[in-house]
Chains A and B, each alone.
Chain A
Amino acid sequence: MTTSNPTIRRAVPVRREISLRMREALHGYAFILIWVVGFALFAAIPLYETFQYSLNQVSVTTGSIELSFVEWANYSRAILTDPNFIELLIGYTIETLVSVPIVLIFAMVVAMLLNFDFKFKGLFRVIFFLPIVITSGPVIKELTAQGAASAPGIADVPAVIDFLEQLPRALRSPTEYLLTSFVLILWFSGVQILIYLSSLQKVDQSIYEAAAIDGASGWATFWKITLPSLSTATVLNAVYTIVTLSHFSENKVIQYIYAQTYDIQGGIGYASAMAFIYLAVMILLLGIVYFFLSHWARRGSR
Chain B
Amino acid sequence: MMKQVLRHPLVERLRSILFGSRAEHGILFKGMLYALLITIGFVYIQPLLFMFVNSIKSPDDLLNPMVQWVPTQLYLGNYEKAYRVLAYPDTLLSSILMSVMPSVLQTAVASVVGYGLARYRFLGKRLIFVLLLATFLIPPQNTVIPQMLTYRNLGLLGDPLALIIPAIFGQGFRSAIFILIFYQSFSSYPRVLEESARLDGATDLRIFFIALPSAIPAFIVSFIFSTVWYWNETFLTVIFLEGGVTTLPMQLSRFTQAYENLYPPGTVNIFDRLNEAVKMSGTFLNILPLLVMYFVLQHWFVESVEMTGITGE
Which residues in B have their C-beta under 8 angstroms from that of A179?
A: none
A26 to B115 alpha-carbon distance, docked (Å): 14
Minimum C-beta distance from B7 to chain A (A): 20
A-side contacts of B25, CB under 8 Å: 116
Check A279/B139 contact, CB under 8 A, given A133-B228, A249-B234.
yes
Chain B nearest CB: distance from A90 CB in Å?
18
* Main secondary structure on A side of the interface with B: helix
CB-based A-B contact count at 8 angstroms: 257
Q: Is the CB of B122 within 8 A of A132?
A: no
Would you call A79 an interface residue if the criterion is a C-beta within 8 Å of the partner chain's C-beta atoms?
no
* A271 and B141 form a contact (CB under 8 A): yes
For the side of the interface on A, what is the size category?
A: 35 or more
In the complex, the answer to whether A232 meets B169 with C-beta atoms within 8 Å is no
What string of 1s and 0s marks CB contacts (under 8 Å) between B272-293 and chain A? 0000100110110011001101
Chain B interface residue count: which class? 35 or more
Residues on A with beta carbons closer than 8 Å to the beta carbon of B141: 254, 257-258, 271, 275, 278
Whether, in the assembled complex, A35 has its beta carbon less than 8 Å from a beta carbon of chain B, the answer is yes
**A276 vs B141: C-alpha distance when bound (angstroms):** 9
A65 at the interface (CB under 8 A from B): yes
Which one of A39, A199, A257 has the greatest number of beta carbons of chain B within 10 Å? A39
Q: Using a CB-CB cutoff of 8 Å, which residues 229-260 of chain A contact chain B?
A: 232-233, 236, 243, 246-247, 249, 254, 257-258
Question: Closest Cβ of chain A: how far from B249's Cβ, in Å?
Answer: 5
Judge whether A142 and B252 touch: CB under 8 Å: yes
Does A8 sit within 8 A of B, measured CB to CB?
Answer: no
Nearest-CB residue, chain A, relative to B135: A43
* Residues of B with C-beta under 8 A to A272: 142, 145
Q: Is B258 in contact with chain A by the CB < 8 A criterion?
A: no
- The answer to whether A143 and B142 have CB atoms under 8 Å apart is no
Closest 9 CB pairs of A and B: A31-B116, A38-B169, A28-B120, A136-B232, A25-B122, A46-B143, A49-B146, A42-B171, A35-B170
